[in-house]
Structure 1
Amino acid sequence: MQSILKEQLINRKSTGYLLIILTYILFLITFSVAFYSENTTVINDVKSLIMSKTAPTISIIGIALILFFLIVLFQVFVGTYFLYLILRFIFRVESKFTLFFRVILLWNITFVLGALYNVLVFSNSSYGILVYLTNPLFILGFVLLSYLLRTVLQATLTKALLFSSFLYISFLIMTLIGGI
């Protein structure tokens, strides 16, 4: 199992592209669902704008989608590079950036699914941080990250758990400060 997973992540050139496309689509779906559940008046305005079907409307929507794609891509690349520097220099795990990028994309997919789960299930709840602590997809994401660091990047068990714990604590702090 470990060798098959590592083989698929390392030697397949299309894996990175597939993961980027999947991450982008899930980001777009989660963003749309969250936006739709919170801003119904804005959604009605956007619907009327789309129904007008004029050339400026279509070009504005196209430019907005392209900018959204570039912002998500920039966020993923910069965030991954920052995490790579932390992993490499603080936790002393030697790996290639491309392999680490694929591991982080897999982690991002579970993270986005967890955010979608929060939006769909707990959109009007007042449980606060408890929602994020008990979300099974967030927990699965951190377990998956630790497992992939251990198997794919050949990190020791201690380093993989420390890095995953560091990200989990950072996630909780960022959630307390500003939300997801």
Structure 2
Amino acid sequence: MGASAEHSEDGSGGGCLACDLIAGTEPLPGGTISRTGHWTVEHCVGPLGLGTLVVKPLRHVVHVADLTAEESAELGPLLRRTSEAVTAVTSPEQVYVCLWSHAGGVPGHIHFVVQPARADDMARHDAYGPALQVAMFGAGRVPGEHDVADVCDRLRAALAEPAR
């Protein structure tokens, strides 16, 4: 396992969208929301709704088992704080946190999706949980850049507040 030879340890290059977003070679609507020594928090670039965040390691990691002790130590508290910020800013029914790491059926840069599950989204798609995510991808509705920038500013402020 470990980092692929086509990806640098600093998270740049090699055709990995997650690495390219970190490196700034692909546009990132809303910009970086938060960054720790080992992780970054960004708005999802896909159709999972406004306020859906991605928490991913700064280096290219394909398997959770390959996380370092330091990366692992930061992960739990960061996921909790990110979920807390999403809850405070979006007031959802629930916040889903799930690991994604496939691109075209091939394991890719791991990332945790932190998604506000809203009643109106569940009603619109007549789905919840994984079925809601599949339905949202099927619908393909990506939030507008202005809306993403606005919610990212609010999420950035919420994440900057001291943890409860």
Normalising to structure 1: TM-score of the pair? Answer: 0.31
Q: Which has a greater percent of strand?
A: 2
- Structure showing greater Rg: 1
Q: Which has a greater percent of helix?
A: 1
